[in-house]
Amino acid sequence: MQEYLKIDVTPNVQKCMEELKAAVESMPFGDLKTRAEGALDYLDRTFSGESQPEGGRRCSPERPIVAGD
């Protein structure tokens, strides 16, 4: 049975996410922006309750967390 970790998204954490989204929107197009958007998408899905791969314990090289669309 796989164990799932749950995080609490406090108002401070949510505000940080909003600030990061605004910062990424202002970035020029390129690899760094693509990776930042992937990281924000992952965090957004995690904040909404989606289960993390591997229970959030490690990053798998076969399934990168931060990937472009």
Burial 3-17 (b: 16+ CB within 10 A, else e): eeeeeeeeeeeeeee
Q: Whole domain around residue 33: which residue ranges?
A: 11-55
Domain count, the chain: 1
Q: Is residue 4 in some structural domain?
A: no
Q: Is residue 64 in some structural domain?
A: no
CA–CA distance, 32 with 38 (Å, rounded to integer): 10
Q: Is residue 65 in some structural domain?
A: no
25 pLDDT above the threshold of 90: yes
Q: Is residue 26 in some structural domain?
A: yes
How many CA atoms, within 13 angstroms, populate the side-chain half-sphere of residue 27?
A: 16
69 pLDDT above the threshold of 50: no
Per the model's pLDDT, the better-predicted residue between 27 and 58 turns out to be 27
Answer positive or negative: Cα dihedral of 20, 25, 26, 32: positive
Contact 38, 65 (CB under 8 A): yes
Q: Is residue 66 in some structural domain?
A: no
